[in-house]
Amino acid sequence: MAGPSDKARFYLEQSATELNELERKKIFTREEISSISKKRSDFEHIINARGSHPSDYLRYIEFEKNVDALRRKRIKRLGVRYKGAGQRTIYFLYNRATRKFPGDLTLWMQYIDFARKDKAYKRLNDIFTSVARLHPTKPEIWVHAATYFMDTQADITNARSYMQRGLRFCKNSEYLWLEYARLETIYVGKIAGRRKILGLDVDPTKSQQNGDDEDVDMIALPQVTAEDINPSLKQDDGVDEVALQNLASAPVLTGAIPLAVFDSAMKQFQGKARVAERFFAMFAEFEQLSCVPRLLQHVLDYLHQNAPQAVETAMCEFCMQLYGRNPADPEFPPVLADALGVISSATQQHQSDVLRLSEVAVRQLLSLQRLSTDTDPSVQIVISQRLRKYLRAFDQESGDKIVNLVRSLQQEGRRHDSEALIRLGVKLFGANEELQQLNSALDTRVEG
């Protein structure tokens, strides 16, 4: 059996021809070639020795990325023609690393990220196949693969297949179920967007087809086949224009597929209200889709039927009453009063969940406050007073919870709401240093 030195020498000899060519074309000087050779020799001896770690491969790969970037710049500046090994060396190192450490997900994720940035689509298909075979019980792998096929290749059929196969191995993963429903909802948005562009934006039928579940391991989806949708890689956003003509009578635009995923998830999790509430919150993110109110009402109806006394039911009821409402509408004040009555009753009934209820109220009221700048002053006063009330209930001590909520809103892209929360937080907890820093950053931005 060859020792570490023999293995290192073998791999170094493979790159000797390339280095000689780089020197001959004056892309690198002799001193630079010597330095690269020495570095490669050091790395090869390290990774071939007993006791090497994935981090050793990652450092080697980072070095090769820097060499490749410098080589590209030199070639462009000198105007010489040279292909060389290029990024094949980097792919080769990733292959060696994942073969030696197949259980290290960090290596696999970086490998996937590199191939994705390089637009090596064929190679990515092989990588996803390998990593899914090695780590079938890791939900993030299936989600990552499905998202890749949807976003990059516009292939809903393959993306859906990955999600379905992932659920066979990860039936108890709430994350995977939610991401599957999110994927299907995003696809509804893509179809609706293309239909609107083509002038086909008509109200879809509300009929929904049901079929027998032939495979207990697969979700019973509405009868929408690949031929109905026919996602094509030739389309910019992955929706076939001709097939869009057939979708007016299909259940896709009504959100039937996300609802099928939700119903199957509820069976899997035995109707847990907490899971249903997470689906509700996820669907509510897609406020531009016409089918979203139907999705939200379906989840709320399920909660009313199966968990009428649960705190999650009250949370969803509160959000549903205010969803899509315009504070400028004449009928808004009584709607707001009813919604606030729901959340107030819930806080009295569920004393142990006051923190969760208060956060939901604060999030919703921040959005309403932003939309109510030109409305009846009395409505603005009610929103402002209730916002302060639930903000105090949310954080009664130091203001740290408010800081965490600000960070969360910023990550969600709700910049205006996060800024309003900072202003309010400083008034309530002026001694909190992080809130002061966030507020100072806002003042600096305004002055700039």
Predicted pLDDT at 224: 43
Longest Cα–Cα distance of the chain, Å, equals 84
Alpha-carbon gap, residue 280 to 312, rounded angstroms: 10
Structure tokens at 318: 């509160």
DSSP summary character for residue 243: G
Structure tokens at 160: 């859906």
Exposure class string for 159-190: b at 16+ Cβ within 10 A, else e: bbebbbbbbebbeebbebbbbbbbbbbbbbbb
Alpha-carbon gap, residue 407 to 419, rounded angstroms: 10
Predicted pLDDT at 3: 63
Task: Spell out the domain ranges in the chain.
Answer: 1-135, 145-200+214-308
Alpha-carbon gap, residue 422 to 391, rounded angstroms: 11
Predicted pLDDT at 201: 57
Predicted pLDDT at 241: 53
Residues of the chain with pLDDT under 50: 1, 204-216, 221-239, 244, 247-249
H or E element: which one contains 213?
Answer: none
User: Within its chain, how far is the Cα of 60 from the centroid?
Assistant: 30
Task: Determine the length of the chain.
Answer: 448
Predicted pLDDT at 407: 93
H or E element: which one contains 338?
Answer: helix 332-349
Count the Cβ atoms, other than its own, within 10 Å of residue 1.
4
Angle at which helix 30-48 crosses helix 54-78, to 10 degrees, equals 160
Residue indicated by tokens 């780089």 = 22
Alpha-carbon gap, residue 202 to 246, rounded angstroms: 12
Among residues 426, 429, 432, 428, the alpha carbon closest in space to that of 443 is found at 426
Predicted pLDDT at 154: 84
